[in-house]
Structure 1
Amino acid sequence: MALIPIPHLRRLLRLHYVTNILLAISFLVLKCLSPFCDYLFSECQLDYKETEILFFTAVVIIFRTRKQGAIHLIPYVSTACMLAKMGNVLLYFYSDPVYGVLYLTVCILHLLVLPEPSYEGPENIYYLRGADLQQELQNDKRIVWFIELYTAWSPPCIEFSSVFSELSGKYGLENLKFGKIDLARNEETAKEFRINTSALSKQLPTLILFKNGKEETRRPVVNNNGKLVKFNLNFDTVVQEFDLNNVYKECKANPLKNSKAKRIKDD
């Protein structure tokens, strides 16, 4: 794991993450520390069943976060807290159904009242139609396009929108452009790129990187067996899968103005 940048540390200190971590460790703290355990439980130690549930939860967290493939700490913290809270629901219900209902209610309220902070910085996104994209790809093939194909009603698309905005703000250049196409309004584009836009579709959103006017990388993809390969929609995974750091360096080293000047000089 890479060193954690200061902005990421500051983000972890936001109320959402602090309370999320507290909820994730709440059962262990309340069950093992006095005076909480004296008041809430019959004994101040974990029994065999509770230890078993905690161990299973820890294994799931380790397996799931290792598979996540993120670079920075924040995606790991969010995933670990989510899984820990799921384990806590079982633990609270096992101890007392009333505790389970109360804990589940608090988790739902936390999700509604203190949702995960969305990106609030600059964005550099072009909102296109399908025909616009084809025209842009042919007009200047020196421009690299990173396109999100989405629908406005899809929950994964809604969740990913702030991530795509952050990516565009960090990596957007004159020759590295970020665009979005609403497939609900551009059904022909959905057919062209073979994307299922039904309510049960796992292809939303689909991300495509175009170089030299042609599709180079797409996520998620359908394998040779016709099955969709799962793709984690987070900032770090997208940067890795599409090699955005190197694409950005390459585009920045070859700006459009320099290319035009070079052509004039050669002529």
Structure 2
Amino acid sequence: VTVEQHIGNIFMFSKVANAILFFRLDIRMGLLYLTLCIVFLMTCKPPLYMGPEYIKYFSDKTIDEELDRDKRVTWIVEFFANWSSECQSFAPIFADLSLKYNCSGLQFGKVDVGRYTDVSTRYKVSTSPLTKQLPTLILFQGGTETMRRPQIDKKGRAVSWTFSEENVIREFNLNELYQKAKKQSKPREEGPEEPPGTQAAAGHPAEETKKDK
């Protein structure tokens, strides 16, 4: 758990405690405080990441097609929702990873499961307001899922996992995947240089020379 998550939890519990105190003092004050908190959450959302990245954004119609297009390509896909603060915190980390590791054989993608709910159903990513599955990172090799974080236990609950750059690199073996993808990438074939040929004379015909006797 990161320091930012600890601070966020402290603020959340303090708001809940304040709401309980206001309701015990005066129900009208409690309702007013609760209304102000809701308005604040709806109007003061953290800004979305707008920095550089090498990420392809999928829709519900393109994700399956893109994953199956070339089975030689390994994909790391983030399933996210814009309303999730955890997803917003992870966005610059995922973008930075894409800048470092993206190549023709290892590519990064994102799909908004808050918008495309059928994608969340197909890939079994919960979008409940209380879910611990956002964001979810899934590794696809040969068009098939080979691993995901966070993992889901037998009871269907997400196993706690910290979405840091170091954890993603280690758990998904990004250095190894990158080197393997670079080796498998075929270099561009360049045609052999054509030797410079003699250009045919154009225009005037060759002049006949006369030998002096």
Asked if Structure 1 and Structure 2 have the same fold, meaning a TM-score greater than 0.5 normalized by the shorter chain, the answer is yes
How large is the Cα RMSD of the aligned pairs?
2.4
Kindly tell me the number of residue pairs found equivalent between the two proteins: 149
Aligned twin of 1:147? 77
Aligned twin of 2:152? 222
Q: Which runs of 5+ in 2 are unaligned?
A: 11-47, 190-213
Aligned twin of 1:182? 112
TM (normalized to structure 2)?
0.64
* Structure of greater Rg: 2
Aligned twin of 1:130? 60
| Helix, strand or coil at the partner of 1:207 | strand
Q: Contact 1:119–1:163 (CA<8 Å) still a contact in 2?
A: no
The range that moved more, 150-159 or 133-142, is 133-142
1:159 lines up with 2:79 in the alignment: no
Mapping 1:1-267, distance limit 5 Å: 79=3, 122-255=52-185, 257-258=186-187
Q: How far has the Cα of 1:227 moved from its partner?
A: 2.8
Distance 2:107 2:180 in 1: 13
1:6-42, Cα deviation, whole Å (9 max, x unpaired): xxxxxxxxxxxxxxxxxxxxxxxxxxxxxxxxxxxxx
Higher relative helix content: 1
Change (3 A) 1:119 1:154: closer
Amino acid at match of 1:252: K
| Helix, strand or coil at the partner of 1:189 | helix
Distance 2:157 2:121 in 1: 18
Q: How far has the Cα of 1:184 moved from its partner?
A: 1.6
Distance 1:136 1:209 in 2: 14
Amino acid at match of 2:57: Y
| Helix, strand or coil at the partner of 2:148 | strand
Distance 1:159 1:184 in 2: 16
Question: In percent, how many aligned pairs have the same letter?
Answer: 37
1:206-259, Cα deviation, whole Å (9 max, x unpaired): 00010011001100111123332111110000111111110001001111x34x
Q: Which runs of 5+ in 1 are unaligned?
A: 1-67, 69-77, 87-117, 262-267
Give the structure, 1 or 2, with the largest relative contact order (CA under 8 Å, sep 6 or more).
Answer: 2
| Helix, strand or coil at the partner of 1:181 | strand
| Helix, strand or coil at the partner of 1:142 | coil
